[in-house]
């Protein structure tokens, strides 16, 4: 069980974006600041410089360390003996590559939002820089720190489901069911290929589904996929506000995934069902403290977080204990802790630890972008089957 005791040196941490109006910034701070593993020392929080400075001061950052932009932050912080060591990038997608590269080149670790970049080639370029510099790139797939996600992975690993046959993934909501006439800033950049990248909902929410399925089923690889995407609001073309993806895995399993931001009225967030030859698991982010374990021919079992019947690995990352609700902030805290542990191991040169340590890093970010590239290749050829590459 995690109780906030930190066994690694506190990291000096900064943020790019995630300011007063940013949607995701507080999730980063909730995760990073939970265990005292990170200390927020600086930031370039906002495109609006004065608003960003005022915001930074209000959350406890010294005014002279709230910078106008990431370039000033790099210049000033790398000149300080107590300068920042790691930054989180919580800005729109089109800025991720440029900002990540600049920080790595300046010798700083990076934690970046998903979808990581626009292309696999960019991911590979960044991976080389990070390797050459001995730096970590973390990616905030924030839902995969829930203990019951670990439980699903352990149950699959122990063969409790039998052979995996069906992978059923859904992340849909209706927040973009209307047109974009009065779109927020966050909606405007998401529906423009110049700022969002080659996808809208596939990258925005589909990458969460894909990464979580990789965590639970690390032994399964996609052989081929078919993606059908559509913009129900035509001004969003060539991007999609809705997509369906069929996947064939290398063990013969079949996967289907749908993502949508026009699923009017749906407030159920995301849902995962993994079906094996003996049993199935179903978990949803709406009720993250419960996992449905369904053995063919037996009554359904609902497993609860924090209980002694769960795997040791599951309870090792529990924070609140049974009966007490855990939520997204706890999941993000685990993600940030795992990334801090990776940074600490990198600093100590402990490559053996890094080989077995689970955290969403550059590989996870790259695989998400690779999946998107394959989806777009299929969809734009008319929703045809393509070999996954």
Q: Smaller CB distance to ligand NAI: residue 171 or 388?
A: 171
Instruction: Give min distance, CB of 107 to ligand NAI, in A.
Output: 20
Q: Which residues 6+ apart lie within 8 Å of 220 measured at CB?
A: 164, 167, 249, 250, 251, 253
CA 197 to chain centre: 17
Q: CA 103, CA 186: separation in Å to the nearest integer?
A: 24
Q: Does 142 bind ligand NAI (CB under 6 A)?
A: yes
Per the CB < 8 A criterion, the answer to whether 251 and 258 are in contact is no
339 backbone dihedrals φ, ψ, rounded to 5°: -70, -40
338 backbone dihedrals φ, ψ, rounded to 5°: -65, -35
Q: Comparing C-alpha atoms, which of 100, 116, 113, 88 is closest to residue 371?
A: 116
Whether a cis peptide bond, with omega within 30° of 0, leads into 238 is yes
- The single-letter DSSP state of residue 66 is B
DSSP codes of every residue in 262-276: --TT----EEEEEEE
The correct pick among 8, 24, 177, 383 for binding ligand NAI (CB under 6 A) is: 24
Q: Does 173 bind ligand NAI (CB under 6 A)?
A: no
Q: Comparing C-alpha atoms, which of 158, 23, 14, 6 is closest to residue 72?
A: 14
Site string for ligand NAI, 225-244 (x = CB under 6 A): --------------------
The correct pick among 93, 100, 199, 334 for binding ligand NAI (CB under 6 A) is: 93
Q: Smaller CB distance to ligand NAI: residue 90 or 279?
A: 90
The correct pick among 35, 150, 204, 373 for binding ligand NAI (CB under 6 A) is: 204
The correct pick among 17, 145, 276, 361 for binding ligand NAI (CB under 6 A) is: 17
* Per-residue exposure over 56-78, b if at least 16 CB sit within 10 Å of its own CB, e if not: beebebeeebbbeebeebbeebe
Q: Smaller CB distance to ligand NAI: residue 162 or 329?
A: 329
# binding residues, ligand NAI (CB under 6 A)? 25
Judged by CB under 6 A, the chain residues 35 through 54 that form the site for ligand NAI are 44, 46-47
Q: Smaller CB distance to ligand NAI: residue 307 or 328?
A: 328
Q: Smaller CB distance to ligand NAI: residue 22 or 306?
A: 22
Q: CA 93, CA 78: separation in Å to the nearest integer?
A: 25
Q: How far is residue 329 from each of residues 11, 90, 120, 212, measured CA to CA in Å?
A: 19, 16, 30, 17
Q: Does 185 bind ligand NAI (CB under 6 A)?
A: yes
Q: Does 92 bind ligand NAI (CB under 6 A)?
A: yes
Q: Comparing C-alpha atoms, which of 194, 15, 193, 189 is closest to residue 90?
A: 15
Q: Smaller CB distance to ligand NAI: residue 22 or 288?
A: 22
Instruction: Give min distance, CB of 128 to ligand NAI, in A.
Output: 22
Q: Does 19 bind ligand NAI (CB under 6 A)?
A: yes
Site string for ligand NAI, 122-141 (x = CB under 6 A): ------------------x-
Q: Smaller CB distance to ligand NAI: residue 90 or 245?
A: 90
Instruction: Give min distance, CB of 145 to ligand NAI, in A.
Output: 11
> What residues make contact with ligand NAI under the rule CB under 6 A?
16-19, 21-24, 44, 46-47, 69-70, 90-93, 95, 113-114, 140, 142, 185-186, 204
């Amino acid at each position: 069980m995690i109780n906030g005791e930190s066994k690694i040196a506190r990291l000096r941490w900064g943020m790019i974006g995630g300011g007063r109006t940013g949607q995701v910034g507080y999730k980063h701070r909730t995760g990073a600041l939970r265990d005292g593993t990170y200390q927020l020392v600086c930031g370039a929080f906002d495109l609006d410089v004065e608003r960003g400075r005022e915001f930074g001061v209000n959350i406890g950052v010294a005014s002279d360390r709230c910078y106008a932009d990431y370039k000033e932050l790099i210049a000033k912080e790398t000149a300080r003996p107590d300068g920042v060591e790691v930054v989180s990038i919580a800005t729109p997608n089109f800025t991720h590559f440029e900002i990540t590269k600049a920080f790595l080149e300046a010798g700083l670790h990076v934690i970046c939002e998903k979808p990581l970049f626009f292309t696999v080639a960019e991911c590979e370029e960044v991976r080389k820089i990070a390797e050459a510099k001995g730096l970590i790139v973390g990616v905030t797939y924030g839902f995969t720190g829930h203990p019951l996600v670990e439980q699903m992975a352990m149950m699959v690993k122990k063969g409790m489901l039998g052979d995996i046959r069906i992978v059923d993934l859904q992340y849909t909501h209706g927040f973009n069911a209307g047109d974009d006439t009065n779109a927020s800033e966050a909606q405007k950049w998401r529906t423009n290929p110049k700022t969002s990248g080659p996808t809208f909902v596939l990258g925005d929410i589909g990458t969460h589904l894909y990464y979580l399925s990789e965590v639970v089923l690390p032994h399964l690889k996609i052989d081929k996929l078919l993606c059908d995407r559509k913009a129900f609001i035509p001004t969003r073309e060539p991007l999609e506000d809705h997509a369906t993806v069929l996947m064939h895995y290398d063990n013969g399993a079949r996967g289907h995934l749908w993502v949508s931001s026009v699923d009017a009225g749906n407030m159920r967030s995301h849902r995962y069902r993994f079906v094996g030859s003996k049993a199935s698991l179903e978990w949803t982010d709406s009720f993250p403290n419960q996992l449905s374990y369904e053995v063919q021919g037996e009554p359904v079992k609902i497993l609860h977080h924090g209980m002694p019947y769960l795997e040791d690995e599951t309870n090792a990352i529990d924070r609140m204990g049974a009966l007490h609700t855990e939520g997204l902030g706890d999941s993000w805290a685990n993600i940030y802790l795992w990334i801090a542990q990776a940074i600490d191991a990198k600093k100590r040169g402990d490559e053996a630890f890094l080989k077995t340590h689970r955290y969403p890093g550059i590989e996870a970010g790259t695989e998400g972008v690779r999946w998107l590239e394959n989806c777009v290749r299929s969809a734009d050829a008319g929703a045809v089957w393509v070999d996954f590459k």
